[in-house]
């Protein structure tokens, strides 16, 4: 009963957050823009300064090694490949946004641009673990897929993904470039990235 109450509360909070942050920009689901031809290095892409093997497998999803197909991404997240990224928050904590308890991991490409206070390179990526109590209950993913974050519309240069399950990937809250549910809130961040930096 408690798990359902927590899930219903989380869904309600995300629904309210989505309504408050939405800009319905007409984004295209699974736009596939991430395959930049930057190689198949699954470790954050040495061409983007990502370094390190994330174990993403043959479908690199572009320069970051993070798949941008929702089904492949869900499998990649379940495998925990992002946990090998060395830049992460020290422990779960309350989110500054609508995500509840979170712990964020960023690849080397994103860490480099954040530390230099510059726009993020194609391939920069983050994975935010979402928690229910002490357990991971889903993920929110941010991947820079175009040199211009606003290519073709607000936030369309970013692939956005959020899922509120670790066992069923069939119904993500978001899975597209320019996802209005995400862009509305993230537009206030540097190049659409809002996690406080340096990481907590």
Res. 197 pLDDT band, cuts 50 70 90:
very high
pLDDT value, residue 29: 39
Closest CA to 166 of 73, 78, 55, 56: 78
Cα atoms in the Cβ-side hemisphere of radius 13 Å centred on 180: 10
* pLDDT at res. 178: 80
pTM above 0.95?
no
- Alpha helices in the chain, H assignment, sequence order: 2-21, 70-79, 108-116, 180-186
pLDDT of residue 1: 44
What are the tens digits of pLDDT across the range 91-140?
999 987 778 899 999 999 999 999 999 999 999 999 999 999 999 999 99
- What confidence score (pLDDT) does residue 103 get? 97
Instruction: Say what percent of the chain tops pLDDT 90.
Output: 50
**In whole angstroms, what separates CA 19 from the centre of its chain?**
19
Residue 77 near residue 150 (C-beta atoms within 8 A): no
Lowest mean pLDDT segment, chosen from 35-49, 118-132, 158-172, 176-190: 35-49
| CA-wise closest residue to 113 among 188, 192, 180 | 192
The pLDDT of residue 64 is 78
Inter-residue contact 152 to 26 (CB < 8 Å)? no
Any bridge partners for residue 161, and if so which? Answer: 141, 175
Torsion from C-alpha of 48, 51, 55, 56, nearest 10 degrees: -10
Q: Are 141 and 128 in contact (CB under 8 A)?
A: yes
pLDDT band for 63, please (50, 70, 90 cuts): low
The domains of the chain are located at 2-186
Place 188 in a pLDDT band, splitting at 50, 70 and 90.
Answer: low
Residues 104 and 195 sit within 8 Å (Cβ to Cβ): yes
Higher per-residue pLDDT: 29 or 180: 180
């Amino acid at each position: 009963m408690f798990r359902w109450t927590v899930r219903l509360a989380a869904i309600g909070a995300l629904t309210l957050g989505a309504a408050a942050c939405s800009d319905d920009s007409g984004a295209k689901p699974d736009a596939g823009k991430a395959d930049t031809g930057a190689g198949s290095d699954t470790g954050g892409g040495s061409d983007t300064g990502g370094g390190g093997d994330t174990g993403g497998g043959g479908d690199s999803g572009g320069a970051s090694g993070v798949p941008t197909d929702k089904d492949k991404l869900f499998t990649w997240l379940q495998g925990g490949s992002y946990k090998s990224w060395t830049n992460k928050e020290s422990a779960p904590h309350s989110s500054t946004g609508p995500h509840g308890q979170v712990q964020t991991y960023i690849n080397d490409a994103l860490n480099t641009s954040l530390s230099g206070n510059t726009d993020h390179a194609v391939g920069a990526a983050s994975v935010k673990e979402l928690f229910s109590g002490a357990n991971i209950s889903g993920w929110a993913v941010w991947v820079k897929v175009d040199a211009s974050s606003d290519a073709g519309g607000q936030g369309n240069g970013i692939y956005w993904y959020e899922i509120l399950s670790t066992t069923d990937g069939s119904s993500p809250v978001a899975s597209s470039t320019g996802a209005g549910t995400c862009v509305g809130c993230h537009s206030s961040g540097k190049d659409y990235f809002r996690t406080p930096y340096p990481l907590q």
